[in-house]
Amino acid sequence: MKVELKIQRFDPVKDQEPHFETYAVDCEPTDRVLDALLQVKGLMDGTLTLRKSCAHGVCGSDGMRINGRNRLACKELIQSQEQPIVVEPMKGFKIVKDLVVDMEPFFEKFRAVKPYLINEDPPPAKERLQSEKQREKFEDATKCILCACCTTSCPTFWADSEFLGPAALVAAQRFIFDSRDQAKEERLDIVGEKEGAWKCRTIFNCTDACPRDIEVTKAIGEIKKEELFRKL
């Protein structure tokens, strides 16, 4: 089938402003948007710049705005998109080139919540045990692949780049509710700051955007509840 793509292009060397360019490619309806983009890059215009790696929705490198919604290009089927398929870089970050944005501020926020297990006890011989029930509390958040689809779909983040953002909050939830972790209080201090969980306005864009179907807003809500109950 013929597919029309409208891709936002920006070359920092030549362009003042991003602009759209249209391409027509031949695809199967069951191809993914990524296949179409790679066709453009491979056969029509080699300068088209995008990130991708696994092409199977695992690595989180090809998050972008597809027809106005943040999606992984490798997970979106051509047949489920209206034409022309409008492809833009994720909003809220500096564009490096075309569909590639500078993710450094995103990872900086991620690091700020200390996304690693903190446990001062000497490790036991085999493993730190945990019941299934204890695990369930943060199971959802472990699925995150750091694609930034959530954070860059969040209107609060667009307006205020200081906001920690949903992805970092999901990472915090993952450790705050982990029974093996000992830095719960410290983490709650970090995400309980003004630019942390309280900046979330429960708009639910993040939940809609997450390609891993993580209930992002719910995770943030759990953090807010935890902040509240530790003070009561």
Partner 1 sequence: MNSYGSRPAPTASTFELVAWLFMRLSGVLLLILALGHLVIMHLINDIGKINYEFVAGRWSGELGMLWRGYDWLMLILAMLHGVNGMRTILEDYLSPGRRRILVLTVLYVVSFAFLAAGSYVVFSFRRVM
**Which residues in this chain contact partner 1 in the complex, by CB under 8 A?**
114, 156, 159-160, 183, 186, 188-194, 196, 198-199, 201, 224, 227-228, 231
Angle at 33 between CA 31 and CA 35, to 5 degrees: 60
Residue type, 76: E
167 binds, among partner 1, ligand SF4, ligand FES, none (CB under 5 to 8 A by kind): ligand SF4
57 near ligand SF4, rule: CB under 6 A = no
Contact 86, 72 (CB under 8 A): no
| 78 sits near ligand SF4 (criterion: CB under 6 A) | no
Q: Which of ligand SF4, partner 1, ligand FES, none binds 61 (CB below 5-8 Å, type-dependent)?
A: ligand FES
What's the min distance (Å) between Cβ of 214 and ligand FES?
A: 14
Choose which of 40, 50, 167, 223 interacts with ligand SF4 (CB under 6 A): 167
Nearer to ligand FES, 149 or 200 (CB): 149
- Judged by CB under 6 A, the residue of 204, 215, 218, 227 near ligand SF4 is 204
Q: Which does 189 bind (CB under 5 to 8 A by kind): ligand SF4, ligand FES, partner 1, none?
A: partner 1
CA distances from 108 to 25, 89, 99, 165, 168 (A): 38, 20, 21, 11, 9
From the list 52, 184, 218, 224, which residue makes contact with ligand FES (rule: CB under 6 A)? 52
3-state secondary structure of 200: coil
213: left (phi over 0), alpha (psi -120 to 50) or beta: left
Phi, psi of 39 (to 5 degrees): -65, -45
217 contributes a contact to ligand SF4 by CB under 6 A = yes
Contact of 22 with 35, CB cutoff 8 Å:
no
Within 10 angstroms of residue 119's Cβ, the number of other Cβ atoms is 12
DSSP assignment letter at 90: P
Alpha carbons 77 and 35: distance in angstroms, whole number: 9
Query: Residue 77's beta-bridge partner residues?
Result: 32
Rule CB under 6 A: which of 57-86 touch ligand FES? 57-62, 72, 74
User: CB under 6 A: which stretch of 15-23, 34-42, 215-223, 224-232 binds ligand SF4?
Assistant: 215-223
Query: Residue numbers of the site for ligand SF4 (CB under 6 A)?
Result: 144-150, 154, 156, 166-167, 170, 200-206, 209-210, 212, 214, 216-217, 220
